[in-house]
């Protein structure tokens, strides 16, 4: 199949973010525990100046990529795992199990997400793992619905009947025959959930509900807001993390849309 | 010789809004090794339902009564995991739409290798060699086909690949459900040649389900004519086709282009609203008073017929 050039720009951007997140020490000039004079303007020593604690903002920006991306991707993976399992089971088994699982999905669907995430994050305490857990477990419902619809469409296909005629068990048919066909539908959902989780993380961090020990882009904007970065006109404190969130989300959603369009073109829809 | 398949008194009913819909009624058939039995009839007469009942592929809620005996074991009473052992390795099935019978996102090589490995016939390496060998014997470029996806192949190629997938497992019984539907004349000839190899070894039986009387006449030893879920006539293919005894069989043969294209008057009744007595009597030119009240028995003998 021909490689789609539209993947290059968002793909490179995500790759850059991932490399920075995995090896922050290679790019950050200072450690996040290093301190110097507070509220310094950008200069040769500190590309983006220093914050209220005297930490190098550029280094913080690099180290923050780790948690922001981690929370986004881990929440996306958790949501995909739960949503795919629920959708596969409901669509393949049908009957009472389908009704129960779809009833549960409907309940999750109507829950007001952000207020619930705020309450849960506040109640369970500030931790990136809690955030991953809460965001992941509240974002699977749309994946479950899409996967279930696709499974219902596929289960009556002749090749599934042919697979049964070759002696494949239900379990094998679900994972080897149906899942690969459903996969192109799951991929854009995964990246969209990941992007939404990154935004949610930033929102929660801005509201002060993230772990103060972990550095994230949302947390940096929150710190800039709380510790007079906005009042002092220190745009180099809050603008770079905001741009990183915007670029990250844009790159991820672009990948999803390009992939979806590519699948449509191949399927001639 | 002992029969491979014996179907006794098989009745299949689907749930409907106004009660059960009888798709197959009191059907009995048998098939020996090396034999080809063709079930013929017009669309909706229940031919495919018989095949699906044998392999237990009918949807939940379907009522299946009677006995389907495969080499002495009643398939209707086996567990699902026991049926998984029967399907493929003991009884194979060739479908009517070969392009749709292959997984569109899986390479053909994998689709031919995995059933062999799953049934424990051989290792993955041997399975690949066997698959390539069968594809070559069917006149295909094995290396290219193994790394292709189904949508990269033509209908005729897909039909051969489906046949290869079935024959690689060496089943004792092959069910071919409308295998020639939608194929052009050249591919029909190829397929007939492939299907004739099934019974050539004298150990495998072929249950051919078709509405193509020409294909049935060329491939089968015996023929069973179905109408509205019932067998109306059964016997040796040559005998049934040369001197049909049941009015429906005569009508079916008369409606072929080579026999004058004379249609059978009327239409088949809905299965949910079958007439009393002989199901064919509203369309039969020879119907008598008793035909309207009594369901004729299938008269036994070399030529069974329900008239």
- ipTM, 2 dp: 0.85
What Å distances lie between residue A69 and A66, A202, A216, A238, CA to CA?
Answer: 6, 11, 9, 18
Could you write out the three-class secondary structure of B242-272? HCCCCHHHHHHHHCCHHHCCCCCCCCCCCHH
Residue pointed to by tokens 């392999």: B55
pLDDT at position B119 is: 92
Closest residue in B to A179 (Cα) is B105
Closest residue in A to B164 (Cα) is A166
Closest residue in A to B171 (Cα) is A166
| Digitized pLDDT (tens) for each residue of chain A, 269 residues in all | 566 788 899 999 999 999 999 998 889 898 888 888 888 889 888 889 898 888 999 999 999 998 888 989 999 999 999 999 999 999 998 889 999 999 999 999 898 877 887 888 778 877 888 888 888 998 999 999 999 999 999 988 899 999 999 999 999 999 999 998 888 889 888 888 988 888 888 888 888 777 777 888 988 988 888 888 888 889 999 999 999 999 998 998 898 888 777 766 665 54
Structure tokens at B25: 């009624």
Contact A162 B101 (CB under 8 A): yes
Q: Which residues of A are less than 8 Å from B115 in CB distance?
A: 166-168
How many CA atoms within 13 Å lie on the side-chain side of B285?
A: 8
Smallest Cβ–Cβ distance between B57 and the set A159, A161, A176 belongs to A161
To the nearest 10 degrees (0 to 180), the angle between helices A235-267 and A217-226 is 150
Residue ranges in chain B whose pLDDT is less than 50: none
pLDDT at position A266 is: 61
Q: Is B250 on the interface with A (CB under 8 A)?
A: no
Q: Which residues of A are less than 8 Å from B100 in CB distance?
A: 157-159
Largest CA distance in chain A: 74
pLDDT at position B130 is: 96
Judge contact between B112 and B121, C-beta under 8 A: no
Structure tokens at A223: 């710190």
Interface probe, candidates A92, A166, A171, A186, chain B, greatest B C-beta count within 10 A: A166
- Residue B27 dihedral angles phi and psi, to the nearest 5°: -95, 130
Contact B97 A158 (CB under 8 A): yes
pLDDT at position B256 is: 86
- Residue B245 dihedral angles phi and psi, to the nearest 5°: -100, -30
Stated length of chain B: 307
Q: Which residues of A are less than 8 Å from B58 in CB distance?
A: none
DSSP string, A187-238: HHHHHHHHHHHHHHHHHHHHTT-S-TTS--HHHHHHHHHHTTTTTTT-HHHH
What Å distances lie between residue A244 and A13, A68, A161, A249, CA to CA?
Answer: 10, 10, 48, 8
pLDDT at position B177 is: 92
CA gyration radius for chain A?
Answer: 22
pLDDT at position A1 is: 55
- How near does any CA of chain B get to the CA of A12, in Å? 27
Smallest Cβ–Cβ distance between A159 and the set B86, B100, B169 belongs to B100
- Residue A41 dihedral angles phi and psi, to the nearest 5°: -80, 160
Sign of CA dihedral B180, B181, B185, B186: negative
Q: Where are the alpha helices (DSSP H) in B106-228?
A: 108-118, 124-137, 142-146, 155-167, 185-200, 213-219
């Amino acid at each position: 199949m021909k490689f789609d050039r539209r993947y290059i720009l968002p793909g490179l951007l995500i790759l850059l973010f991932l490399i920075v997140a995995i090896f922050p020490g290679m790019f950050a000039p200072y450690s996040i525990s290093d301190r110097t004079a507070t509220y310094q303007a950008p200069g040769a020593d500190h590309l983006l100046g220093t914050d209220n604690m005297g930490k190098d903002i550029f280094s913080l920006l690099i180290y923050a990529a780790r948690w922001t991306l981690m929370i986004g991707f881990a929440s996306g993976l958790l949501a995909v795992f739960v949503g795919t399992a629920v959708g596969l089971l409901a669509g393949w088994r049908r009957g009472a199990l389908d009704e129960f699982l779809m009833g549960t999905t409907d309940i999750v669907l109507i829950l007001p997400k952000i207020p619930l995430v705020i309450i849960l994050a506040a109640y369970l305490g500030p931790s990136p793992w809690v955030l991953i857990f809460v965001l992941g477990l509240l974002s699977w419902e749309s994946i479950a619905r899409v996967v279930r619809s696709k499974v219902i469409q596929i289960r009556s296909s002749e090749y599934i009947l042919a697979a049964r005629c070759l002696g494949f068990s239900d379990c094998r048919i679900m994972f080897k025959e149906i899942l690969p066909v459903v996969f192109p539908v799951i991929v854009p959902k995964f990246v969209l959930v990941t992007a939404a989780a990154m935004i949610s993380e930033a929102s929660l961090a801005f509201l002060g509900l993230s772990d103060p020990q972990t550095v994230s882009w949302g947390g940096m904007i929150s710190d800039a807001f709380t510790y007079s970065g906005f009042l002092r006109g220190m745009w180099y404190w809050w603008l770079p993390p905001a741009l990183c969130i915007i670029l990250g989300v844009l790159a991820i959603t672009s990948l999803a849309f390009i992939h979806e369009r590519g699948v449509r073109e191949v399927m001639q829809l | 010789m002992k029969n491979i398949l014996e179907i006794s008194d098989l009745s299949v009913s689907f749930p409907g809004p106004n009660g059960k819909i009888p798709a197959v009624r009191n059907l009995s058939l048998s098939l020996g090794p090396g034999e080809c039995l063709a079930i013929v009839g017009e669309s909706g007469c229940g031919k495919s339902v018989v095949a699906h009942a044998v392999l237990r592929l009918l949807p939940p809620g379907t009522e299946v009564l009677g006995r389907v005996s495969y080499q002495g074991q009643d398939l209707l009473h086996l567990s699902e995991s026991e049926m998984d052992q029967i399907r493929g390795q003991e009884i194979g099935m060739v479908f009517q739409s070969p392009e749709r019978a292959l997984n569109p996102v899986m390479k053909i090589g994998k689709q031919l290798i995995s059933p062999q490995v799953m049934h424990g016939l051989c290792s993955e390496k041997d399975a690949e060699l066997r698959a390539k060998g069968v594809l070559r014997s069917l006149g295909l470029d094995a290396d290219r086909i193994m790394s292709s996806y189904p949508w990269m192949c033509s209908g005729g190629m897909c039909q051969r690949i489906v046949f290869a997938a079935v024959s690689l497992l060496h089943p004792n019984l092959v069910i071919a459900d409308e295998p020639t539907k939608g194929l052009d004349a050249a591919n029909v000839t190829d397929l007939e040649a492939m299907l004739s190899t099934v019974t050539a070894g004298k150990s495998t039986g072929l249950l051919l389900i078709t509405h193509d009387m020409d294909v049935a006449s060329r491939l089968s030893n015996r023929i069973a004519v179905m109408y509205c879920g019932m067998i109306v006539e059964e016997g040796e293919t040559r005998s049934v086709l040369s001197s049909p005894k049941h009015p429906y069989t005569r009508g079916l043969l008369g409606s072929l282009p080579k026999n004058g294209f004379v249609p059978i008057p009327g239409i088949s009744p809905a299965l949910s609203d079958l007439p009393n007595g002989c199901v064919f009597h509203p369309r039969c030119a020879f119907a008598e008073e008793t035909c309207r009240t009594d369901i004729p028995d299938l008269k036994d003998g070399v030529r069974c017929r329900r008239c």
